[in-house]
Amino acid sequence: MEQRGVFGSRLAIVLATAGSAVGLGNVWRFPFMTGQNGGAVFILIYFACVLLLGIPGMVSEFVIGRHAQSNAARAYGSMGHRSWRFIGYLGILTSTIILGFYAVVAGWCLQYLFASVAGQLTGDAAYVIRYFQTFSADPIKPCLWGVAFVLITHLVVSKGVNDGIERASKLLMPLLLILLVVLVVASCMLPGAYRGVEFLLKPDFSKVSGNVFLEALGQAFFSLSLGTACLCTYASYFKRDTDLLRSATQIALLDSGIAILAGLMIFPAAFSVGVQPDSGPSLIFITLPNVFQEAFGAVPVVGYFISILFYALLVFAALTSTISMHEIGTAFFHEELHLSRRRAAWVITGACVLLAVICSLSVGAYDGLRLFDMPLMDFCDFLTAQFMLPAGAFLTSIMLGWFVSRRLVQEEFLMGQTHDTSRMVKRAFFHIWLFSVRFVVPICILLIFLHQFGVI
Query: What's the confidence (pLDDT) of residue 255?
Result: 92
DSSP states along 353-385:
HHHHHHHHHHTTT-TT-EETTEEHHHHHHHHII
Query: What's the confidence (pLDDT) of residue 37?
Result: 86
**Domain annotation covers residue 42:** yes
* Domain count along the chain: 1
Query: What's the confidence (pLDDT) of residue 317?
Result: 93
Tell me the C-alpha distance between 444 and 433, whole Å: 15
Contacts of 206 (CB under 8 A, 6+ apart): none
CB 78 within 8 A of CB 414: no
**Domain annotation covers residue 2:** no
**Domain annotation covers residue 4:** no
- Please report, to the nearest 10 degrees, the dihedral formed by the alpha carbons of residues 175, 176, 177, 181 taken in order: 100
DSSP states along 238-277:
S-TT--HHHHHHHHHHHHHHHHHHHHHHHHHHHHHTT--S
Element (H, E) at 82: none
Query: What's the confidence (pLDDT) of residue 418?
Result: 57
CA neighbor of 142 nearest in space, from 109, 94, 99, 175: 109
Rg (C-alpha) for the chain, rounded Å, is: 22
pTM: 0.93
Tell me the C-alpha distance between 37 and 9, whole Å: 39
**Domain annotation covers residue 397:** yes
CA 146 to chain centre: 18
Q: Could you tell me the residue range of the domain that residue 362 belongs to?
A: 10-453
**Domain annotation covers residue 228:** yes
- Residue 375's φ and ψ, nearest 5 degrees, are -55, 145
**Domain annotation covers residue 104:** yes
Query: What's the confidence (pLDDT) of residue 3?
Result: 67
Distances (CA, A) of 378 to 105, 354, 364: 12, 16, 12
**Domain annotation covers residue 126:** yes
- Residue 260's φ and ψ, nearest 5 degrees, are -65, -45
**Amino acid code (one letter) for 47:** F
**CA 18-357-287 angle, 5° bins:** 60
**How does strand 370-371 pair with strand 374-375?**
antiparallel
Tell me the C-alpha distance between 168 and 18, whole Å: 13
**CA 313-316-319 angle, 5° bins:** 150
**Domain annotation covers residue 1:** no
CA neighbor of 427 nearest in space, from 437, 440, 415: 415
CA neighbor of 263 nearest in space, from 2, 27, 22: 27
CA neighbor of 159 nearest in space, from 341, 339, 334: 341
pLDDT in tens, 393-432: 999 999 999 999 999 999 999 886 655 556 778 888 999 9
In the predicted model, residues of the chain with pLDDT beneath 50 are: 1
Tell me the C-alpha distance between 445 and 289, whole Å: 36
- Residue 228's φ and ψ, nearest 5 degrees, are -95, -5
**What CATH number is attached to the domain comprising 111?**
1.10.4160.10
